[in-house]
Structures are given as structure tokens and as C-alpha cells.
Amino acid sequence: MDVVSIDPRTGETVEVVAQETTTAEVDRLVAAALQAAPALDGMGRAGRAGLLRALADALEARRDDVVAVADRETGLGPTRLNGELTRTTYQLRLFAEVLEEGSYLEATIDHAGQTPMGPRPDLRRMLVPIGPVAVFGASNFPLAFSVPGGDTASALAAGSPVVVKAHGSHPATSQLVFELMAEACRAAGAPEGTLGLVHGLQAGADLVAHPAIRAVGFTGSVNGGKALLAIIEQRPDPIPFFGELSSLNPVVVTPDAAAERGAQIGTELVGSFTLGAGQFCTKPGLAFVPTGPEGDAVLDAMAEAVRAAAPQVLLNEGIAGSFGRISSGLADLPGVETVAQGSSAEGPGFQATPLLLTTSAAELPHEVTEECFGPVSVVARYDDEKSLFSALELMPSSLTATILRGQGETDLPLAVSQELRTRAGRIVYDAYPTGVAVSWAQHHGGPWPSTNSQHTSVGTSAIRRFLRPVTWQGAPAEVLPEELTDDFQGIPRRVDGTLQTARG
């Protein structure tokens, strides 16, 4: 079956990109990845660091072409996509630094000796590649969470070959960047099979079911994640599934913050929930705003910004249909009122009208606590701290939770932080959750349904997903990885319980 590329601005098919990948071809690609695994690991940390930098350079060299194709397929615009490509190449280069620094290996040596429990053998432990990894591209980030994205970068850094299932919203972008990266892999001396690409839903299912695949990285809907988990459960050997799935990302505006800068907060909140047409996994879908004049200033500014908003292009027909159905359902709920709408979406393609709704925190409908992908947000008005905290207890777990405070305010923000910390992987203060910095300290994950694991998909510790621990007991020096030999000093290690820093 044809894999077609559609322009979301018009809804028209532009080109046939490829044919859906057959089961036999999936098997061939995964077999090649399995064969490549020892050689990719054998490149060592320095070799893989060079590979990652070569991949970043290859994408940068074709920046204009990549951005043009991605814009035509997603409607996200050159400014956003240039920024996303910069982020993508940055995270590839950051993982090269992770490899060179080396602490990710968790290298640990306990020499043989006496302990309070008796004699201890020589034990040496570190993390090793998990094996071939399946990565599923996300619809809303055609670069940073797709073929060259963080899952791919962290898996390759770990030494695990990757087979990517291209997302149907941007197959031409996926194919282009894959070809650039495959050529860069060859030029950098990586083994054939280091990176593969498949198209089509059945190919994705075949990929997850393949016995040589050792882990799956996925960014998408809860239903999509559950479908892949069902396949994994049918395997003779269930494997790790790292899914980023759904997130409401609640925001709490304190009375002091509303009094100090209510209009500013309102304008900024709309900017956040309409960014990228509301198709960020960190979009603030529900904001708690106090009743009274100060809170009215927040809501009025939000309403003014929404009324001035133009129609926004969504990524594909399915997202557009879901947005229309779910947002209309929210607006029709008892106790929910429509505050403002943007300009009507009357043109061709997959367009959406920005929408602002309001309700009472004391009588919060369950439906407004569920994610609606697209440019809509709900403001829940609370009368006092009791009604606020009663509503916060109803919040599902999210990737983020945000607290907007007054100058010098501590007590209420602290109490809100303590309440939301159990429900979020990142707590944001006096800023907005959209946008996820790639860094050593970043965590992009949270309790179910935001993710199904304790790991992050953004930041340097994302590499941990695609590694597993091995201990060598009583091993001769010649069989040890160099990082576990006595005289090696190139990375941080814990030796006989003492943390040792790297030496040049």
C-alpha cells in the first residue's frame, strides 16, 4: 500500500513517499540491526561520539531542505521547525558529550576482600547496550521526537541499533532525514544496520513483536501505547516499553500572582496553550484561577488573546477530527461555559479554532481533566484554598505542573508543590510548561498516564532506558571492558565504595 504525504494546510495528497514495509522487510531490517549490535558497541564511546556528531552535521548541512519538507508536511512553520532542528542536532551532540564524560556507565568496582558478612569476591559492574531498539516517531515533533530524535540519539549513544517506525503525518520528512543519517552512519564507519526505517501500522506491530527487538520507545496516545503493550504482552519474552502518552499539565495561579500581573499571565497562558496549535505534550490544558477581580483580569486577558487568534493548522485529519469532537463535548458539559473563540476555521485543510472555556473548581467535571490535543484550555475558578486543593486531588498525573506565584510568596506555592509533586515529573515555577530544555538535569516523564515508566525521554539520563547492568565476578583483566580495569581513569567510577573522579 502507498505511503502518502499530505499537506495539512490543504488536506491534499502531495506525493507517494514509499510503500508500506512488509513483514519480510521488517525481519530483514531487524536482523541487520541485531548483526550490527556488537560492532556498534565495539566502536567504543569515542567512536559513537563521533557518529553522533556526524549525524548532527549531516542534518545541519541540509537544514533548508529538511525544514522545507517538514513545513510542507506539518504546517508548523519555518521558525518553529528551524528551532526544532537546532534542538535535534544539539541533543545529538550532547549525547556525544555524555559518552565522553562516561558516568552514565555507572562503573563500579568492589575488590575481593573481607567484609562483615565474610569474604567477598572481586565484583565489577557497569551498564551495557540492551540490543536493537524500536522507536516510534511522534506526530507533533517531526524531528526532535522522530527519526533523528531523542530516543534515537540516546539509543545509539548507548550502543543499541535503532529501527524507527515513521509517523504517517510526516513520512517524507522521515524518509529524507533517514537517508541523510544512513549515509552519515556509513561515512562515520558505523556498521550496516545501525539505523533502519519502516512505514505503516502493520510494520510497527511487526517491529514490536520481533524477537530481536529488546526495547521500545514510543511517544503518542494512550490508546496507541496500550495497543503496543498488548503486542509486547503476547511475546514469549516481554520487553521494556518506554511510552510518553498523555498529559493535562495543570497550572495554578495564586491570588497574589493574579493581583500583581493578572493581565500578563492571561496573555502568556494563551500563548502557551496555542503554541504549535496546542499540539505540545506539555500544553497547559487546565488553569486554576481565583475568583474575584484579580482572577477576572486573568480571564479577561485570556479571552482577548483568544478572540484575536487566527485559525490554526493541525497535523493531520485524525487530530483535527478528535479536536473538534472533544472540544465541542467539553463546551457542551453542564457547568462549562465558552468564554472566547478565535477566528472561525473556514478554509481548506485541517484547521482548528482556538477555544477558551471556564468552569468551577468546586464542581469540576471529570471530562475537563482529560487531555484534548489542540488549541483549547479550561479555566477553573476557585473561591479559596479548600476548593483549590479539593480540585487538585482530582488531577491525573502529568508531565508537568505549573505554579505562578506572587512576589516573595511561599506558603501557598509550597503547599501546592507538595500536592502536585506526586502527580508530575517536572514542577514549573513562574514560567510555562511548553518547551522542554535538553540538559543533564531535565526530566520529561511522570506517573501514569503521562508515561508508563520512571525514566525520562528528554535529557541525558534518557540513555539509561537502553542499557542494562552486567556484573563480572572474578574476571581476568583481559575479558573486562576497559572502563572496569584497575588502571583505567578516564571516567568517574566508584571503587571499593569511594567515588573517584576522572583523570585525564
DSSP assignment of 159-172 equals: T--EEEE--TT-HH
Which letter does DSSP use for residue 451 in this model? B
How many angstroms separate the CA atoms of 48 and 228, rounded? 29
CA angle 235, 223, 433 (to 5 degrees): 120
- Selected catalytic residue, list 73, 84, 244, 294: 244
- Selected catalytic residue, list 73, 281, 371, 372: 281
CA angle 428, 432, 433 (to 5 degrees): 70
How many angstroms separate the CA atoms of 420 and 321, rounded? 32
What grid cell was written down for 112?
Answer: 575481593
Cβ neighbours of 332 (radius 10 Å): 10
C-beta pairs of 307-310 under 8 Å, 24+ apart in sequence: 307/340, 307/341, 307/342, 308/342, 309/270, 309/274, 309/342, 309/343, 309/354, 309/375, 310/342, 310/343
Cβ neighbours of 263 (radius 10 Å): 15
Q: Is 281 a catalytic residue?
A: yes
Cβ neighbours of 147 (radius 10 Å): 29
Convert 118-156 into a string of H (helix), E (strand) and C (coil): EEECCEEEEEEECCCEEEECCCCCCCCCCCCCHHHHHHH
How many angstroms separate the CA atoms of 232 and 241, rounded? 8
Which residues have a catalytic role annotated? 244, 281
